Structure 1
Amino acid sequence: MESHTSTQLKVGIFLAVGAVLIMASLFFLGADRALFTSYVRLHAHFDQVQGLSVGSVVSLSGVTVGNVEAITFLPEVNALDVKMKVDADYIPRIRQGSQVEIRTQGALGDKFVFIIPGDPRAEVVKEGEVLQIAKATDVLGIISERGNETNRIFDIINELYKMTHAMNENNRMGRLMGNLETASTSLTLASKEAQKLATQLNESATGDKFASSLNKLDSILTKIDKGQGSLGALINDPSLHNQLKAMVGANDRKDHVKSLLRQSIDQGTKATKD
């Protein structure tokens, strides 16, 4: 009887020790890594946290280096203090001049703090230091930061909707596209006809005659320009021009008209006296 009781006691102790070892293994491999990790607390002052919460991830160039430990209002300032605990192993990567911003990750839009490293030649940040706020590059962050200016985007979308609705009303877009297609087809046919005509002119005797006529016309115009022939002499010789001008009228014709007017006046005067 005593032997049976001793055996049960040993089995119970063995199971208890095994259970403790299993729980300890899970504890050390999982959540209790913090027992062997030292953290440095850093701060950032935001005008708004945009859904950031305690426990949110702190990322350094895309690598998770810590979590948000606390979010509190700053006294006498309209801002929020975000307290971050960062793994001390990554602190040498965070230098003076490093900046932070709130970004969005995942399809659910989870917020996290993104640290942008500064100049690697600068000094390493210290415990309790406040990091600078970077200009927002996240799309949702920019929209939130712009505030009322985002209304313009919706105004533009509304105007585009009105324009497309007006164009689609009574099938205007369809008719416009049909007219464009008809005009394009007509232009293509006209181009083909012009090409055929040009080909026929080049290949037939008519084309040769047309080219010959152009050459003759060019030859005639060249001779006229050089003063050859009667027409060329008339156009290029100023003396012939002056002679024709004298024959047709100009000053002589004016003098003749004046003399006739004087004679008419004199005759009228004599008739009145008689």
Structure 2
Amino acid sequence: MKKKMDKDLKVGIFVTLGLVLVLGALLTLGGANNVFTRQNNYTTHFKSTQGLIAGAKVVLSGVPVGTIKDVDYDAKDKNVKVTFSVARKYAQYMKQGTIVEILTQGVLGDKFISIDATQAEGEEIADGSEVPTRASDDLAQIIPKADQLMTSLNSIAVNLDKILKNFDKGGRSDTFFQGMTTTAKNMAQVSDKLNRQLDGMQLPRISKELSSIMEKVNNGTGTVGALINDPSLYNDFRALVGGANRNRIMRNLVRKTVKDGETAEEPKK
């Protein structure tokens, strides 16, 4: 009887140790080892959790620092309230300016919360406080936009194919390209003729002669240069014009005086 009890006791101890080891392995693989660490709890709100579930991990710069505790719909704010925990040793980085966002991990699309503390400064966010969120354009959001883009590109390709087919009907494409070839040849001929005419005009020689003439004028050489550069001619011209103006004014004044005198003598007759 005693031997049987000893055997049952050994079996019980063995089974218990096996269960403890299995439970420990499950807790470690599932990230539930955080249960045995001191943690701070925080809340945040999203318009959509995009499939985020309780038990998902929380990471800070790629390092797992906590888990999602609860995901529930908030009827008051008409959004989703998420409660998550962060290990106490990482809570010191949860300062004012910290934001969280939902990201996707791997091809399977597992969702998790990422903490962005790059702009965090000031006081530490208190345990149980609300943490602001940032809308994220992750893979799940980009794929529908990519589908829309591909649909638009496909539509453009179809329309372009129709245009090219219509353009090619009746040999219009051949006519068009022949016309373009003829136009290019004509442009080349015109350019060649223009170059020959410019060469015949001897533009460098003409430009050089004009420069020589302008230099002589500036130096006062020749009649034109003397007229332009001699200030006495300018003064004589001013005096002449001024004298003419004065003579004209005096003549007008004399005529007006004579006219006024004749007008005054008429009543006496």
Q: Which position in structure 1 is the counterpart of 2:161?
A: 165
Residue 85 to residue 108, structure 1, CA distance change in 2 (3 Å) = same
TM-superposition CA deviations, 1:196-239 (whole Å, max 9, x none): xxxxxxxxxxxxxxxxxx9xx99x999x999xxxxxxxxxxxxx
| Distance (Å, rounded) in 1 between the aligned partners of 2:8 and 2:167 | 86
| Distance (Å, rounded) in 1 between the aligned partners of 2:120 and 2:206 | 82
Deviation at 1:169, TM superposition (A): 4.7
Asked whether 1:88 is paired with 2:88, we answer: yes
Alignment root-mean-square deviation, CA: 5.0
Deviation at 1:142, TM superposition (A): 5.9
Q: Which position in structure 2 is the counterpart of 1:156?
A: 152
| Distance (Å, rounded) in 2 between the aligned partners of 1:158 and 1:46 | 35
Q: Which position in structure 2 is the counterpart of 1:98?
A: 98
Residue 159 to residue 59, structure 1, CA distance change in 2 (3 Å) = same
Residue 139 to residue 169, structure 1, CA distance change in 2 (3 Å) = farther
Deviation at 1:154, TM superposition (A): 5.7
| Distance (Å, rounded) in 1 between the aligned partners of 2:74 and 2:108 | 29
Q: Which position in structure 2 is the counterpart of 1:254?
A: none
TM-superposition CA deviations, 1:125-172 (whole Å, max 9, x none): 22111111124242434677xxxx889636632432324533675996
Q: Which position in structure 2 is the counterpart of 1:74?
A: 74
Describe how 1:42-191 pairs up with structure 2 within 5 A. 42-119=42-119, 121-141=121-141, 153=149, 156-166=152-162, 169=165
Q: Which position in structure 2 is the counterpart of 1:266?
A: none
TM-superposition CA deviations, 1:35-69 (whole Å, max 9, x none): 42122211111111112222222221112222222
| Distance (Å, rounded) in 2 between the aligned partners of 1:123 and 1:111 | 29
Where does structure 1 lack aligned partners over 5 or more consecutive residues? Answer: 184-213, 227-274
Equivalent position SS for 2:92: helix
| Distance (Å, rounded) in 1 between the aligned partners of 2:39 and 2:83 | 12
Contact 1:44–1:131, Cα closer than 8 Å, also in 2: yes
Q: Which position in structure 1 is the counterpart of 2:264?
A: none
Percent of aligned positions that are identical: 23
Q: Which position in structure 1 is the counterpart of 2:40?
A: 40
| Distance (Å, rounded) in 1 between the aligned partners of 2:153 and 2:159 | 10
Contact 2:44–2:132, Cα closer than 8 Å, also in 1: yes
Equivalent position SS for 1:64: strand
Question: Comparing 52-61 with 116-125, which one deviates more in the overlay?
Answer: 116-125
Equivalent position SS for 2:17: helix
Contact 2:97–2:120, Cα closer than 8 Å, also in 1: no
Residue 52 to residue 165, structure 1, CA distance change in 2 (3 Å) = farther
Asked whether 1:14 is paired with 2:10, we answer: yes
Deviation at 1:103, TM superposition (A): 1.3
Contact 1:103–1:141, Cα closer than 8 Å, also in 2: no
Q: Which position in structure 2 is the counterpart of 1:197?
A: none
Q: TM-score, normalised on structure 2?
A: 0.54
Where does structure 2 lack aligned partners over 5 or more consecutive residues? Answer: 181-198, 213-269
Residue 142 to residue 122, structure 1, CA distance change in 2 (3 Å) = farther
Deviation at 1:78, TM superposition (A): 1.9
